[in-house]
Each structure stands twice: as structure tokens, then as C-alpha cells.
Structure 1
Amino acid sequence: MTALGDLLIARIARTGPLSVAEYMAECLMHPDHGYYATRDPFGVAGDFTTAPEITQMFGELIGLSLAQAWMDQGQPSPITLAELGPGRGTLMADALRATKGVPGFHAALSVHLVETSPTLRQAQAKLLPDATWHDHVETLPDAPLFLIANEFFDALPIRQFVRDGNGWREKVVGVTDGKLSFGLSAAAPLALLEDRLTDTKDGDLVEHCVGLPAITASISTKIAAFGGTALIIDYGDWQSQGDTLQALKAQAHVDPLTTPGDADLTAHVDFAAIAAHASPARFSRLTGQGVFLERLGITGRAQALAAKLSGDALTSHIAAHRRLTHPAEMGELFKVISIYPVTAQPPPGLEP
């Protein structure tokens, strides 16, 4: 058991079982032993690899989509170019490089990063020294907001509930024989999930992302008031159904309870919940990442880059394009949705 695991076992002995959300929050962001608080987990040498780390094309196309949205909205100035959970800063750096030639765009923008990990802030500062950092999305400036959230919502803590008649039993983390274990609370009605009684049956598990409503509402309120657009890219589907909690360590799946604080914990994103909190702005049609990137011209960009490559570099480049776009890889598992003003259209690559 890890040091954090020992602390959690002692805490449960004192105060009782933890919700899955409380467990995730401690595992990911405990100040001394939390996964994101203590390491850089990205890349081949880390525990997982995100799209910006696979190829520069991803960040380039995201940046150009937002730059075009900025032009379509009349080139407002000044604007906030923001990213939630920006990893090492790779995506934002690629987006900025790709948009250097867009007249007036860089002069209008300031870069803002929402990041709570001290370790990752240090990595981001190497690529983006002029950025401003925030702990919460609520403190982003009151200005037109052009925002990126790539694999951000999947890391937000979730609660899990199992239907029991017209009530719900919450899945919790307790202790059995000195080890962390899952259990269920007593059944009770839950107003939070009243609408899910129509599309579930006894024994079905649904997930609720605790922080999603407030974060989405904050983004939507700024965009509705000042303009801009948000591109949200993550794995998941239109509505939560089933247990999607997973742990990754050294590029492999592990038991979520075995090494708390030493493995990444994520869950699929419920995009219907994002749409439900997009008012007073609008949301686009949910689109597979592969289709989105193809609409933005990733194949043409890939061919242009391939012309300068050979050998292993070319093989790796071709594999990166496939990984991002093919339905059997990230192309369908990952989805894209945007939030934009009622007076505007969604950014390029997406439909109303």
C-alpha cells in the first residue's frame, strides 16, 4: 500500500467510507501524495500519452479553429486564450505557433492556464513563460474567452450510484481486511438523478461529475456575456451509463484501489451534462474527434509534414495520424463539443 493509501485507511477508520469523488480527489490532488501534485505523468516515459504529445498537428489545428472563430466573431480585442489542465503546455505552444500568421490574433490575446499542480506549472512555464496561471476557471478575465479543454473533464472526481428500485445506492470506498475496498450505501431517493429513473433499471450504475456543472456554467456565462468559444475534447459519450472509472500506471490499466496516489484516475465524460449547463450560451453537435480533425484538414497537414520525413520518423508520423483519427483508436472514443454565443456559429470542424 502507498503512503496515501495508509492515510486513507486511517481516515476511513475515523470518519467512515469515502465517496468515489472524495477518493479520486485525494488520489489526484493530495498536496503531499496526490498524483498530479507530485509528478509529470505525460509522454512515453509517463503513465499516459495525450493527443498533443502524439503529434504537433493536434494543437496546430485546435489553434487555427479558435483563430477562425475569433475572426468570425469580428476580431475582438483584447481576448483571453485559455486552457484547462494544459499538461506540459504542448497543445497551447503548438496552437500559438500555428496562429502566428493570423493578422492581429496574437496582438489581441493573452494566455491563461487553469492548473493546480505545482509540478505541471513549472513544465508549462518553460514553454509558455508569459502565461498567467489560475487555480479556478472562475478567475479568468471578463473578456471574450477562447478556451481549450482537452482531457480535462475526465479527471474531475465523480460520484457513482447504483439504482435500487426508485432509489439509489452510492458506491463508496471502505476498508475490508485492512485493504481499500468498494461497497454500497443504503438505498435512498436522490433528486440529483430523478431524470435517470426513465432510462435505467435496477442494478444499473450511473456517474455524476461533481465539478462539471459549475465549471461549465462559468465558461458558458463568460462566453454568453463577452463572446468567444470553448472547445471541449475528451473521451466519453452523450450520457453516463456503466462503471467507467479507470486507473492507469506505466501505460497500463491497474486496479483503482491498489496504488492510490501513484496511478492516474479518470472516468468517461457525460457530454449531455455539459450541454445541460451550456446555457445561456449554445452548444454544438457532439462530434467524433476523427471527423472533427478531418474537417480541419489534418490529412492535408499530415501529407505536407510527411514530405519532409523518411524511415522511422515517417512511420511514426503515419501512426500518429491514424491514432488520432481512426475509429478503432482515438477517432471515435474521443468526442468534441463546443460552447459558443447564441449570435455566433460553432468553430470550424463542428456543426450547430
Structure 2
Amino acid sequence: MSDAPSLSDLIDLQIRANGPISLATYMGLALTHPRAGYYTGTDPLGAKGDFITAPEISQMFGEFIGFYIVNLWQQLGEPKSFTLLELGPGRGTLMQDALRVAAKAEGFIDALHLQLFETNPALKAQQAERLGQFNPYWATEIDAVAEDPLFVVANEFFDALPIRQFVKGTNGWHERLIGLRDGKRAFGLSPTPIPEAALPPALHDSPEGAVYEVSLASADAMQRLGKRISELGGGLLAIDYGYAETQAGETLQAIRRHAFADPLETPGEIDLSAHVDFGALATVATGLGLKPALTTQRDFLARLGIVERASALAKANPAQVDTIAAALRRLTDVSEMGTLFKVFAATSGELEPIGFA
């Protein structure tokens, strides 16, 4: 049995030594600490984990991602060498389904350099099992790619990147910090105000008590990848829950075994996430000369033909009719993932991404 201090103890020691920490620092430790972080431990996916992602719901999701990527590759003139990078590939299910479809396009697999950005050893093993035939390379940096056209897929990746929170007070905005109160971790506010003029215009005139969330990590990822895409050609596709324009609102949530949990209770054992500010990602993309586009998951999949695909699958698998119908509903219904989840694209040059209005 290890005598190493728990992640909770390490965080508390850091707070005692250096004072309160930002929410971004806390999330970074809780999710990616090399020894005890949530994403560096066991497999968090599926019915026995804490959440289920779209690729685990139905093969149709990954299939349409594959069709989408092939279409962009063809629009680029079918380059003989390109990089396909998936951020947070999970069990490899999405990419397995995507490449099964993409392999039907002549020359696609021969030109493919598959890169996977993953920190979880248990998931890496499953990715290797599912994707080994494509000789994947596991990148330790998100922009560790070759000097080739770049296509990036990020399904439920940006929502797990650390955020900072700011709360509107009477004399400006104050950063929300995590400290210790009576020996237990608790939220508090920095006494140093930040003038409203320093925040995006959309936040000006917010009522007292309003919360603003910003993910510098997401902006950095978009900047680094977007720069490569702008220089080399290609596109980024991100699917996540979020909102179209920068706005006030508190969305931090903690999940454990498919139920909401206290975000400060057991760091390293719970999933922490926040809604993605797609407006902020679009601003970065536009600044790099890329074309951003945004739609709902429902509309994206519908435009690519998921209803017709579900019908064909049901005819070919009569015993699975109810399962296929349930998956279609889960992915597209407005009461499920259909409109909560957005699909964001940032593409280079004259590329016209399919699935968007």
C-alpha cells in the first residue's frame, strides 16, 4: 500500500503554503495530476464510468465524422500525406468508426498519419487495440504534428480544459479562488478587483453576482492548432456542449458515477467540466485567418444523413431496431444531446465544411 499523500492532501498543502489557488489551477491538478489526476487513472467512460460520450452511443456518430474528414481531404485535392489528430480519443471508438468509413476513399489510408493526444494509460491501451492497424503515434503535445495538412477532431475535449471564474461585485469583478475554511476546501473571492473594461464587451453591464468563465487553455489550444492549420491547410472539428457567444453564466459541474457531485470534495475521483465558449474559439480562429462555423449536433448530423443511416441500419439489423432508434434520439433530440451539444469547425482557405448551413 502506497504511503504517498492523496491528491486532496497535496492540494491542501499547496494552499496552506502559498494561499488560495485559482479554479484553473485546481482543475489542472484534479484532472491531469501525473499520479492521481482523474484523466490519468482508470477508464472513466461508459456505463461503469462517470459519463457516456456520443461515439459510445452509436457507430453512426463516428461514421459521419469519417465522412466529414474525407470530404475536406478531397476538397484539399487529396494530398498524399496528411495528419489526422484526435484530442482525447477515449477508447478509440470514434476514430475506429470514422476510419472504417474513410478507408473506402481511395488513397485516404495510404496518405494518413494518425496522431492521438491522450494521457490515460488505460485508454491508450484500448486505442492501441482498436487503431493499431493504422500505426498511430501518441503525441505528448497537442501541436506535435508533421509539416502536412492537418485535420483535428476533438469530441468532448474542450469542456475538460481548466477555466477561471470571475464574479461581479460592487467595485468590479473578483476572481473566484479556492482556499481552506475550517480545514476544508471552499470557494472565496480575491480582494483585488478587475475593472469591467478589462473584460469582453458582452460582460459589461452584467448584474452584481454574475459569473464569467474563461478558459485560457482552450484559447491556447485553438491558437496553437489554428496556426498550424492556417499555415499547412486543413481544419478543426470540435463537438461539445457550450454556447455560441461569450456571455455570463456559471457552468462548472462535477460528475461521479453519472450523478452530480461536489467539485471540491474528492479531486482526482470526479469529472470536472464547463461549457465551451465557442464564440471565444471563433475569435481566435478568425484572427488566424480561418473560417469558423457553428451549428447544433442535431442539425449537423441531420444534414449529413443520420436519419437515413439509422433507417438503413434498422433494416439490416431487425433485432436492433429499438436500440438504433434510442441512439438516434439520444444523439439528436432537443431534450437529449441534440441542441445542448454544438459542432464547431475552423477551416483554412476555400474549404467549405459540410454539415453546416
State whether TM-score is above 0.5.
yes
Number of residues paired by the alignment? 348
Q: How far apart are 1:186 and its partner, in Å? A: 1.1
Runs of 4+ in structure 1 over 3 Å off: 194-197
Question: What TM-score comes out, normalization by structure 1 length?
Answer: 0.95
1:213 aligned to which of 206, 219, 240: 219
Counterpart for residue 148 of structure 1: 153
Cα distance between partner residues in 2 of 1:86 and 1:281: 27
Letter in 2 for 1:327: V
CA 1:150–1:214 in structure 2 vs 1: closer, same or farther (change >3 Å)? Answer: same
Of residues 332-341 and 164-173 in structure 1, the stretch that sits farther from structure 2 once superposed is 164-173
Give, in angstroms, the shift of residue 240 of structure 1.
4.0
**Residue in structure 2 matched with residue 68 of structure 1 by the alignment:** 71
The aligned amino acid for 2:255 is L
SS at match of 1:331: coil
CA deviations 1:25-68 (Å, max 9, x no partner) are 11101112111111110011111000001111000001101101
> Aligned match of 1:299 in 307, 310, 319?
307
Alignment of 1:229-268 (within 5 A): 229-238=235-244, 239-268=246-275
Offset of 1:225 from its aligned partner?
Answer: 1.2
Question: 2:239 and 2:351 mapped to 1: Cα distance?
Answer: 20
- Identify the match of residue 30 of structure 2 among 11, 27, 42: 27
1:51-90 equivalences under 5 Å are 51-90=54-93
Distance apart, 1:127 and its partner CA = 1.1
Q: How does 1:176-187 map to 2 (within 5 A)?
A: 176-187=181-192
**Whole-Å separation in 2 of the counterparts to 1:13 and 1:284:** 44
TM-score scaled by structure 2?
A: 0.93
Alpha-carbon distance in 2 for matches of 1:339, 1:128: 26
Shift of 1:138: 2.0
Q: Which amino acid aligns with 2:288?
A: P
1:224 maps to 230
Native 8 Å contact 2:233 2:349 kept in 1: no
Match of 1:330 in 2: 337
Name the CA distance, whole Å, in 2 between partners of 1:145 and 1:172: 38
Task: State the AA in 1 paired with 2:76.
Answer: Q
Does the CA-based 8 Å contact 1:116-1:134 persist in structure 2? no
In structure 1, C-alpha distance between the alignment counterparts of 2:28 and 2:247, rounded to whole Å = 20
SS in 2 for 1:229: strand
- What corresponds to 2:51 in structure 1? 48
1-structure distance, mates of 2:9, 2:100: 45
- 2:165 is aligned with 1:160: yes
* 1:185 CA drift (Å): 0.8
Asked whether the equivalents of residues 113 and 132 of structure 1 are also in contact (C-alpha less than 8 Å), the reply is: yes
Q: Secondary structure at the match of 2:143?
A: helix
Match of 1:18 in 2: 21
Match of 2:316 among 308, 317, 325: 308
Q: State the Cα distance separating 1:327 from its structure 2 match.
A: 1.1
User: Matched residues, percent identical?
Assistant: 46
Shift in alpha-carbon separation, 1:214–1:247, aligned structure 2, 3 A? same
Contact 2:202 2:247 in 1 (8 A): no
| CA deviation profile, 1:175-210 (whole Å, cap 9, x unmatched) | 112211111111422575253442523221010102
1:189 and 2:197 are equivalent in the alignment:
no
What SS does the corresponding residue of 1:171 show, helix, strand or coil?
strand
Query: Residue 318 of structure 1 aligns with which residue?
Result: 325
Distance in 1 between the 2:106 and 2:296 partners?
Answer: 30
The residue aligned with 1:282 is 290
Structure 1 residue runs of 5 or longer lacking an equivalent are none
Residue aligned with 2:293, SS: coil
Question: Where does structure 2 lack aligned partners over 5 or more consecutive residues?
Answer: none
